[in-house]
Amino acid sequence: MRWLLCAAPSPSGIPTSSFCWQTPIWRRCTGNPNFNGSSWTSFRSRAPPTSCEFLDSDALVTEDGVHELRSKIEEAVRAIRRHSARSPRVGIILGTGLGGLAAQIESSQAIPYASVPYFPASTVESHAGQLVCGKLRGVDVIAMEGRFHFYEGYSMQEVTFPVRVMRALGVEILIVTNAAGGMNPHHDLADLVIIEDHINLMGDNPLRGPNDAALGPRFPDMSHPYDRPLMALAQQTALELGIPCRKGVFVAVAGPNLETRAEYRMLRSMGADLVGMSTVPEVIVAAHAGLRVLGFSIVTDLCLPDALEPADIKQIIEVAGRGGERLSRLIPHILEKLEQV
């Protein structure tokens, strides 16, 4: 694509990108460092060459790095393609203790995160730290064995980078899973809960900063971040398999400390059934990218303020494993029925 840098007010109907003005390229084109009425457009103009310059897309770089993210995504995709030429339809993010599902993927190719440019390293116990590409019940999938967390010190953009890469690989549906604390007194350990909505209390958002319209809209709608037909399919499939499965609201906090009794009371009063330290950033980016999302939590500890016991990470991983066995039965059957929704 050829772009024209135009030192004039934006033509009618063509938006102005204010963050591009006063860049070195801009100053070189205008010859006037004090000019502040710039715009990037693809509008053809007869303006004199002293105020306009054609640029190739690769040369379109802004000081805010809007196009840098796209370049990183493309580089990561190329690296993955060197290991696997599949075009996955479904992406799966496997949380704490949930790596067992990856063993069911057929004709699989494991790709360590270290082999993918710009992928952080997973530092959490029970997270394998690799991508698994293959087929699950006849559906091309790519699964993350281990995710990245905000509390590990990564930025929101780093935490959600794999979702961007999945979308670029061709993923249309994202299945997210996590281990969560259960605040609803009707929940029990190892219960499966379909996430029907969420609350973001992490204090940050992966969409902050300049928006690249090629990746998604500036203000994505979040009225239904979790796909209702997929939720209905999951509930019906769980019923057919005899797997207890409820629906609930998930609240995400920054972590890494667990919550106080007063905080659990507050979160419960806000309408949350589950609490964890992940998932919401990935879902926000998935919504931005236009992906359909299905989310599951496994209740790994009971967070009832009047009967609160100290958390034991080994017990949490063991309970997550029990719930993971149920989820490993459920998800493949859901994939078999995707054509219904």
pLDDT tens-digit series, residues 230-274: 999 999 999 999 999 999 999 999 999 999 999 999 999 999 999
* 3-state helix/strand/coil string of 45-110: CCCCCCCEEEEEHHHCCCCCCHHHHHHHHHHHHHHHHHHCCCCCCEEEEECCCCHHHHHHCEEEEE
User: Does residue 79 share a domain with residue 54?
Assistant: no
User: Rounded CA gap, 160 and 339, in Å?
Assistant: 27
The pLDDT tens digits of the residues spanning 40-78 come to: 343 333 444 444 444 433 334 344 467 899 999 999 999
Our count of domains for the chain comes to: 2
| Residue 90 · residue 173 · CB < 8 Å | yes
- Give the other-Cβ count within 10 Å of 253's Cβ: 24
- 102 shares its domain with 162: yes
Do 301 and 184 fall within a single domain?
yes
| 261 lies in the same domain as 123 | yes
pLDDT for residue 217 is more than 80? yes
Residues 219, 76 share a domain: yes
Q: Enter the pTM of the model.
A: 0.81
Give the mean pLDDT of 119-136.
82
181 inside domain: yes
Residues 48 and 114 in one domain: no
127 — pLDDT class (breaks 50, 70, 90): low
Burial class (CB in 10 A: 0-12, 13-18, 19+), 257: exposed
- Given this model, what pLDDT does residue 65 score? 62
Residues 55 and 82 in one domain: no
Identify whether 64 is part of a domain: no
Q: Residue 203: CB partners within 8 Å, gap ≥ 6?
A: 254
Q: Where would I find the H helices in the chain?
A: 24-30, 66-83, 156-169, 228-241, 261-269, 280-289, 313-336
- Determine the structural domain holding residue 165 and report its residue range: 72-340
Mark whether 55 and 199 lie in a shared domain: no
Same domain, 42 and 165: no
Give residue 95's pLDDT band: very low, low, confident or very high (50, 70, 90): confident
